[in-house]
Amino acid sequence: MRLFIAITLSEEMKASATGAMHALKKAGVKGNYSPSANLHLTLAFIGEMENAAPVKEALQTVSYKPFRLSFSEMGTFGDILWIGVKGNQGLNGLAKSIRTALDAFGIGYDKKAFSPHITLIRKMNGPWKSVPAPRGEMIVKKVSLMRSEVKGGRRVYTEICAV
């Protein structure tokens, strides 16, 4: 199964991001839009694993205090359009703690530098800069181990456990 560790967005933040996606469509921005239910902030991408139990065990060792997460600007990585989040010691500390726990348990993950963002559109093309970045904030109180699978031709994310 394909796994990743993420912060799932509150319904209010999902609604704000979805509103921005509707505005982008109206502005003529084309691409593969993320379904609202899939909007999240990845803390660590693990990839294919036979058994999620070691990841669950590693996550149980991570402790953190709730912190505020706020949207910032929109930007791109090549043809991927994303919403950034405001710089945040709580978020950066959490990502580091999760990666340290994964290392301690010998669990492989994508070691790219942590760049907190929420992906809105893949293979994006169009005048995205004409649309203002959405606003939104939430208090992060849980981190989720997620499974990614294709069902009926669509990518579906399912929470396996949360800490």
Domains in the chain, ordered, with CATH? 2-162 (3.90.1140.10)
Confidence category of residue 117, pLDDT binned at 50, 70, 90:
very high
Beta partners for 159? Answer: 146
Query: Token digits for 61?
Result: 């060792």
The span from the CA of 58 to the CA of 49, in Å, is 14
Confidence category of residue 72, pLDDT binned at 50, 70, 90:
very high
Confidence category of residue 87, pLDDT binned at 50, 70, 90:
confident
CA angle 140, 155, 1 (to 5 degrees): 80
**pTM of the predicted model as reported, rounded to 2 decimal places:** 0.94
Predicted local confidence at residue 160, as pLDDT: 97
Is it the case that residue 76 has pLDDT exceeding 90? yes
Residue 113 per-residue DSSP state: P
